[in-house]
Amino acid sequence: MADSQQVRLLDRNHCVLLVIDVQERFRPVIDRFEDIVKRCNILVKGAKRLGIPVLVSEQYPKGLGATVTEISETLSETEIPMAKMGFSALSSYELNDKLRSLGKKQLLICGLETHVCVLQTAMECLGYFPKGVYLAVDAVSSRQPAERELAIRRMESAGIRLVSSEGALFEWLRTAESPEFKDLQSLVK
């Protein structure tokens, strides 16, 4: 199992959470939008409680609006969403620099749209995170469910590791003896 593709659990000491383009204009057109917002917010709240850095991107905010209030209200003053025009979050120099400066070895991604911005970001990030790029599959969506499913299959076959939002929280915790256990457990009840 020394293979670099071996399955690794998410580790809160090595992980960064990236929330991609969960913006207001997507609300009426994205499949299961409200559930995606809820799942992304669970991850944001959990990451913040565990001291895991949270980065947020916004695709062309002048046209697509800001990050939804449910998530933006959870962010601190230093977790300002970063605008981008390219589909990959790495196309934002600000976000790219911030992501690399953190020096983390794992990346967990959630957000929109699975087959465009999420996929392109995940694929481009594969070479930068030696302990893996992870996708919270229940916290991503597209306008068409078929587009989402195809993108998830593509990412998995490229080596992106799949996890659920609740699974990610409990991997970050590792044990019910963790001082944050009850607090994080309350997020998924």
pLDDT tens-place values along the chain, 189 residues long:
344 445 589 999 999 999 999 999 999 999 999 999 999 999 999 999 999 999 999 999 999 999 999 999 999 988 999 999 999 999 999 999 999 999 999 999 999 999 999 999 999 999 899 899 999 999 999 999 999 999 999 999 999 999 999 999 999 999 999 888 988 888 988
One-letter amino acid of 148: R
Q: Which residue among the candidates 40, 110, 117, 125 is catalytic per the annotation?
A: 117
pTM metric for this prediction? 0.95
Q: Which residue among the candidates 84, 104, 125, 138 is catalytic per the annotation?
A: 84
117 is catalytic: yes
Q: Which residue among the candidates 15, 21, 104, 125 is catalytic per the annotation?
A: 21
